[in-house]
Amino acid sequence: MEINKLTGSLKGEIRVPGDKSISHRSIILGSISEGKTHINNFLMGEDCLNTIKCFRKLGVKIDINDSEVIVDGVGIKGLKKSIEPLYAGNSGTTMRLLTGLLSGQSFETIISGDESLSKRPMDRITKPLSLMGADISCSNGIYPPIIINQVNKLTGLKYKQKKASAQVKSSILLAGLYTDEDIEILQPEISRDHTERMMKYFGIDIRIEGKKIYMRGKREKLTGKKVFVPGDISSAAFYIVAASIIKDSHIVIKDVGINDTRTGIIDVMMNMGGSIKIHNKRTINEEDVGDIEIKYSNLKSIEIGGDIIPRIIDEIPIIALAANFAEGSTVIRDAEELKVKETNRIDAVCCELNKMGADIIPSDDGMIINGGKNLTGSSVSSRGDHRIAMMLAVAGYLAEGKTSIDNFESVNVSNPNFMKIFNSLCHI
């Protein structure tokens, strides 16, 4: 993909693809519900489509009609053994959440992934699941493929997470559907809570008290629902930052999920001096939704760390780009989780943006971005990571000359229409 500097500004109104996290979970819970679940604005990205393929192999009938997905649920005990291994592709969410769900089944399952996913550690879920009685093994004890053996039953669990992780707690909660005992999870910091919200919407007795999650035992059934998937704020983040740093820009992003556990990007940008407002707030299937208005602004440096990191972990690459155009030096810390994403995002952000003239210094758990640097077009690589690809595209619009991005098609994971949406805003 080749990108030239944008000579104008961004103007207009857009919608971004449906939230990836919510799309995954709507398929998972719809599949084990009784009756049909109708899902609108589902994200038709590669990761979520891999989740659909996995459940079809598990005996669930799932139809796709344009932007609507209809799941004909088989009930909590209705999944069938797949005749071949389940393939999660590049989706860590698919692999980790399905491992939890399938750890209490009466049949064996193997879950594999692509080359990148096969290098991502899975012991963070296999350890707590084993405490519940699951029989799980991995290559070298850590890496996929994951082999899940059948068990008679799982037990309840009181679990204190060492690191905040939505995938870990979701895996435990999904496994907890297959025990008659209670589940209690204590989070060190609150991470995204889409699983908890959707479980409640589908009829599960679950409650949140601060950092504690309680799910009551003896679950009998889930009931199929109508689900609207809000726009993904992680996808919206690229347009939010672009409008904030491209002069004279003024855009509105409609129907975006503004769940409190996901709006760290808005908090960070406003702390940096961004001009952002949220309009038309409402709640749809337990999720908060709104329209986000963004105007160009002069940004300043800040320090980012602590309990906000779980709320912005996927947005840090594009935040780093915003910091490059801010006054002063921005420090990002406590973000070592970036090392085990689709690629090592600390290394990717620093290396690729520095090729374009940025001054970013990596650290063990983050980076220091020395702002006020002009960028120059260069040959850069997404490293097969969709969020790095989209961040570099925005950088290319701001850089002098031409930017060439290798493996840009990785954007298909979360926003196949990224360029089409961006170009619709370009105003010369």
Q: Which helix (H) or strand (E) holds 124?
A: helix 123-131
Strands (E), 247-302: 250-257, 275-284, 287-295
Containing 303, the helix (H) or strand (E) segment is strand 303-304
Is the peptide bond between 17 and the residue preceding it cis, with omega within 30 degrees of 0? no
Q: Give the closest residue to 259 by CA, choosing from 295, 228, 280, 230.
A: 230
CA dist., res. 425 & res. 13, Å (int): 8
Helix H or strand E segment including 47: helix 46-57
For 146: left if phi > 0, alpha if psi spans -120 to 50, otherwise beta; the answer is: beta
CA 299 to chain centre: 26
If one counts every other C-beta atom within 10 angstroms of the C-beta of residue 332, the result is 26
Q: Which two tokens stand for residue 386?
A: 């969709």
Inter-residue contact 146 to 99 (CB < 8 Å): yes
* Residue 314 annotated in active site: yes
DSSP calls for 49-90: HHHHHHHHHTT-EEEEETTEEEEEEE-TT-----SS-EE-TT
- Determine phi and psi for 328, rounding to 5 degrees: 95, -170
**Residue 107: how many other CB atoms lie within 10 Å:** 13
Residue 246 DSSP class: S
Selecting among 47, 288, 314, 385, the annotated active-site residue is: 314
Calpha distance 388→316 (Å, rounded): 10
H/E stretch holding 219 reads: none
Task: Name residues whose C-beta falls within 8 Å of residue 276's C-beta, 6 or more positions apart in sequence.
Answer: 240, 244, 266, 269, 270, 292, 293, 294, 295
Give CA separation, 266 vs 228, 229, 239, 292, 425, in Å.
Answer: 22, 20, 12, 9, 20
Task: Please tell me whether residue 255 adopts helix, strand or coil conformation.
Answer: strand
Q: What is the DSSP letter of 188?
A: S
Active-site residues, by number, are 314
